[in-house]
C-alpha cells in the first residue's frame, strides 16, 4: 500500500523517539495496543506543575501509519495543557496524515495513547 | 449446524487435529466437482458453495486462536471490536520488552543463540496463556468466558510476534 508523503516523512524521520522514567511523578505513561494487528504503542509526557506538557516521547512497534500517528502526536501535544491534549481527535490525526480507511485504527490508537497517559498522570496525582 | 457439528466432533477447544483433517477430507469428497460433472448448473453451484463452507469451517477449527474465537462467539460472548485498543499496561510493557528483545537479536554477538532464546521465551509465555485460556473455555461460565476472551486478545499479540520472528529468521538466512 502506498503511504502518504507525511506518513513516510514521520516513518523515516520519527520525532521524539525515546523513553522517560515511568516512575517519575511528573511523567505520564500511556500504553495501548491493537490485538488485531499486534501494534504496541507507548506515549510518555513530561508534565509541569501547572499542567503543561513540556516534553513528549514515544516508542511504537507497528506499521508505518502507527509510527507516524504517534510521532505526529508527540509534536502536537508539546506546549499544550493536558486538557487541550485530551481533546485531540483521531480524525484530526488521520486527516493530517491522509490515512486510508484501513489505517484509521492507527490514529485511534494514538488518540487512546494520549488518553491513557492523561489517566496515568491523574492517578499519579491523586496518590 | 455449527462447524463442530459439520465435522461431527465434540464442541471443545481440544480438537483431535488428525480426526478433524480426516473428517474434512471425507466431507470434501462428497462435494467434489467430479461428482457433479453431469449435474445441473444449480447443483454444481450449491456443491461449490458447500465446498467453500467446509473449507472455512476447517480453517477456523484448525487454528487454535480462531477456534477459541469461534467457540466464544457461538456462546454469545460479545467480542470487543478488533479496532478497540487494549490497555493492560503491564501486559503491554512486557510486549514492548519482547519486541525490544527481538530487535536486539540482529545485533547480538551470537545471533542464532539470541534467536533461539527469544523463541523459547515466546513459546513458554504463549503456552502459559493458551493453557489458561483452555481451562477458562472448559469452565464455560460468564466470568471464565470473559477471561478467555481477554486472554485470546493477549495471544493475538504473541501470534503477531511469532510472525515477526519468522520474518527475522528468513532475513537472517538471506544475509
Give the number of other Cβ atoms within 10 Å of residue A91's Cβ.
Answer: 13
Average pLDDT of each block of 10 consecutive residues along chain B (175 residues)?
A: 95 95 95 86 92 96 96 90 81 94 92 94 97 96 95 94 93 80
3-state SS of chain B: helix, strand, coil percent to 5? 75, 0, 25
Please report the pLDDT score of residue B99 as a whole number. Answer: 94
Nearest-by-Cβ selection for B83 from A61, A105, A120: A105
Q: What is the tens place of the pLDDT at every residue in A29-65?
A: 999 999 888 899 999 999 999 999 999 999 999 989 9
The sign of the torsion formed by the CA atoms of B109, B110, B111, B116 equals negative
Please report the pLDDT score of residue A1 as a whole number. Answer: 57
Spatial CA neighbour of A76 closest among A87, A66, A60? A87
Nearest-by-Cβ selection for A40 from B95, B159, B163: B95
C-alpha–C-alpha distance, residues B144 and A24, integer Å? 36
Give the number of other Cβ atoms within 10 Å of residue A4's Cβ.
Answer: 17
Q: Are strands A53-61 and A27-34 parallel, antiparallel or unpaired?
A: unpaired
ipTM for the assembly: 0.85
Assigned C-alpha cell, B56: 472455512
Per DSSP, the three-state class of A56 is strand
Residues B121, B41 contacting (CB under 8 angstroms): no
Residues B132, B149 contacting (CB under 8 angstroms): no
Residue A102 forms contact with B (CB below 8 Å):
no
Nearest-by-Cβ selection for B93 from A31, A109, A116: A31
Q: What spatial distance separates the first Cα and last Cα of chain B, rounded to whole Å?
A: 50
Per-residue pLDDT tens, chain A, 127 aa: give them: 578 899 999 999 999 999 999 999 999 999 999 988 889 999 999 999 999 999 999 999 998 999 999 999 999 999 999 999 999 999 999 999 999 999 999 999 999 999 999 999 999 988 7
Assigned C-alpha cell, B92: 503491554
Q: Phi/psi of residue B76, each to 5°?
A: 80, 15
Residue A33 forms contact with B (CB below 8 Å):
yes
A33/B159 CB distance under 8 A = no
A38/B86 CB distance under 8 A = no
Please report the pLDDT score of residue B175 as a whole number. Answer: 65
Please report the pLDDT score of residue A71 as a whole number. Answer: 96
- Based on the residue annotation, tell me whether A63 is a catalytic residue of this protein: no
Question: Taking the model in full, what pTM does it have?
Answer: 0.87
Strand partners, A61: A40
Amino acid at each position: 500500500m502506498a503511504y502518504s508523503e507525511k506518513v513516510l516523512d514521520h516513518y523515516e524521520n520519527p520525532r521524539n523517539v525515546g523513553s522517560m522514567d515511568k516512575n517519575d511523578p511528573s511523567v505520564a505513561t500511556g500504553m495501548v495496543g491493537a490485538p488485531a494487528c499486534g501494534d504496541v504503542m507507548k506515549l510518555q509526557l513530561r508534565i509541569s506543575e501547572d499542567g503543561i506538557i513540556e516534553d513528549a516521547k514515544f516508542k511504537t512497534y507497528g506499521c508505518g501509519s502507527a509510527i507516524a500517528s504517534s510521532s505526529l502526536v508527540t509534536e502536537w501535544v508539546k506546549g499544550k495543557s493536558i486538557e487541550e491534549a485530551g481533546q485531540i481527535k483521531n480524525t484530526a490525526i488521520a486527516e493530517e496524515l491522509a490515512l486510508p480507511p484501513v489505517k484509521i485504527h492507527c490514529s485511534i490508537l494514538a488518540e487512546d495513547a494520549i488518553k491513557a497517559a492523561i489517566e496515568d498522570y491523574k492517578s499519579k496525582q491523586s496518590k | 449446524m455449527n462447524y463442530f457439528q459439520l465435522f461431527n466432533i465434540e464442541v471443545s477447544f481440544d480438537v483431535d487435529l488428525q480426526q478433524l483433517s480426516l473428517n474434512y477430507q471425507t466431507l470434501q469428497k462428497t462435494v467434489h466437482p467430479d461428482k457433479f460433472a453431469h449435474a445441473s448448473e444449480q447443483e454444481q453451484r450449491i456443491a461449490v458453495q458447500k465446498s467453500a463452507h467446509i473449507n472455512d469451517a476447517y480453517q477456523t477449527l484448525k487454528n487454535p486462536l480462531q477456534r477459541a474465537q469461534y467457540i466464544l462467539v457461538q456462546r454469545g460472548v460479545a467480542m470487543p471490536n478488533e479496532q478497540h485498543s487494549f490497555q493492560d499496561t503491564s501486559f503491554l510493557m512486557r510486549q514492548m520488552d519482547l519486541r525490544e528483545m527481538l530487535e536486539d537479536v540482529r545485533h547480538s554477538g551470537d545471533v542464532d543463540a539470541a534467536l533461539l532464546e527469544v523463541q523459547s521465551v515466546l513459546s513458554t509465555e504463549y503456552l502459559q496463556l493458551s493453557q489458561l485460556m483452555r481451562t477458562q473455555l472448559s469452565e464455560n461460565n460468564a466470568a471464565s468466558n470473559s477471561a478467555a476472551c481477554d486472554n485470546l486478545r493477549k495471544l493475538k499479540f504473541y501470534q503477531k510476534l511469532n510472525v515477526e520472528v519468522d520474518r527475522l529468521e528468513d532475513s537472517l538466512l538471506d544475509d
